[in-house]
């Protein structure tokens, strides 16, 4: 008698490229405009990223504010002019410049302020990266990567800065709470760049400008400016970015956390009780002071 096969139990290969999301425009006053993405727009496939804003800031916009349970990351694009002043309750008063990265591991709590210096025009990404439950109560710390420390891969039709992690033969900064790769790349028309995505990593890919096609196996997505897509975690695989027009892209890849969380503005905790405790600690001045 032939075996009976239950087709519901057969695992079929699924496409790993996600849907395309279009950034939501956002502006505050005359000195701040942004293209905004949030994790809800990607159905969990942006994990561990919670938010990405591609912004231009020419005037002070945000008062000092508290973060907790996340990393608040700023990547200054190379087309920025002038300095971006970062001050935080870890005692830092840093002038970020074009090409720099500043990674504030807020964890149990930290306050920071970011503003352009007089006459500056800052084009940057602001990224909120979730922290797993076991790291949310760790002491806050920060990582500053200067532009001159960033390895650059150049080849026919591409120039890619390896801000964090590894791609090909290049190794960027690696002192983040959880392993992450972050690439800031430029492609000429017809240029291409391939990244080997390690097993278990999820990727988020964003077209800052121009137009490019993201290829994975026999699937592809065309990203125009301010569009993004994802690559779901799975076996080790190659992702290829190919430009139809000159393009600027960002790729971020990390292990998804897949834990429940509570969002309260820039606080992302495991429970509502953690939110209340963090706000009480802030009110009591436990996170220190921002340097003058």
Architecture of domain 22-149: Sandwich (2.60)
Chunk the chain into consecutive blocks of 10 residues (it has 292) and report each block's average pLDDT, rounded to whole numbers: 37 76 95 96 95 96 92 98 95 96 96 95 98 96 97 96 96 96 98 97 98 96 98 97 96 97 92 93 84 73
pLDDT attached to residue 25: 97
| Fold match flag (22-149 vs 151-259) | yes
Peptide bond just before 48 cis, omega within 30 deg: yes
The dotted CATH code for 151-259 is 2.60.120.10
pLDDT attached to residue 166: 96
pLDDT attached to residue 1: 35
Q: Enter the pTM of the model.
A: 0.92
Going by the DSSP 8-state scheme, the letter that residue 15 receives in this structure is -
pLDDT attached to residue 12: 39
User: d(Cα 132, Cα 70) in Å, to the nearest integer?
Assistant: 9
The closest of 204, 202, 198, 222 to 212, measured between CA atoms, is: 222
* CA atoms in the 13 A half-sphere facing the CB of 36: 10
pLDDT attached to residue 284: 86
What CA dihedral angle connects 142, 144, 145 and 147, to 10 degrees? Answer: 150
Domain boundaries, the chain: 22-149, 151-259
User: d(Cα 207, Cα 251) in Å, to the nearest integer?
Assistant: 9
User: d(Cα 254, Cα 198) in Å, to the nearest integer?
Assistant: 9
Contact in structure between 220 and 17 (CB atoms under 8 Å): yes
Termini Cα distance of the chain: 83
């Amino acid at each position: 008698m032939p075996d009976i096969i239950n087709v519901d139990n057969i695992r079929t290969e699924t496409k790993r490229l996600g849907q395309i999301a279009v950034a939501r425009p956002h502006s505050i006053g005359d000195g701040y405009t942004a293209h905004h993405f949030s994790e809800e727009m990607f159905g969990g496939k942006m994990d561990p990223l919670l938010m990405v804003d591609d912004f231009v800031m020419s005037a002070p916009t945000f008062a000092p504010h508290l973060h907790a349970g996340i990393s608040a990351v700023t990547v200054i694009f190379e087309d920025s002019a002038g300095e971006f002043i970062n001050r935080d309750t870890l005692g830092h008063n840093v002038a970020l410049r074009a090409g720099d990265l500043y990674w504030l591991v807020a964890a149990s709590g930290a306050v920071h302020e970011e503003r352009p210096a007089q006459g500056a025009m800052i084009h940057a990404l602001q990224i909120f990266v979730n922290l797993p439950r076991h790291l949310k109560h760790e002491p806050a710390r920060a990582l500053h990567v200067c532009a001159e420390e960033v390895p650059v891969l150049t080849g026919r039709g591409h120039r890619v800065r390896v801000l964090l992690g590894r791609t090909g033969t290049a190794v960027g900064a690696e002192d983040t709470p959880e392993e992450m790769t972050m690439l800031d790349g430029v492609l000429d028309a017809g240029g291409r760049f391939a990244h080997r995505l390690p097993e278990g990593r999820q990727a988020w890919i964003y077209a800052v400008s121009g137009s490019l096609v993201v290829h994975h196996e026999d699937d592809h997505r065309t990203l125009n400016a301010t569009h993004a897509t994802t690559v779901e975690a799975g076996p080790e695989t190659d992702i290829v970015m190919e430009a139809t027009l000159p393009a600027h892209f960002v790729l971020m890849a990390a292990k998804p956390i897949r834990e429940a969380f509570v969002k309260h503005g820039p606080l992302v905790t495991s429970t509502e009780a953690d939110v209340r405790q963090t706000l009480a600690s802030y009110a009591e001045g436990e996170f220190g002071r921002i340097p003058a």
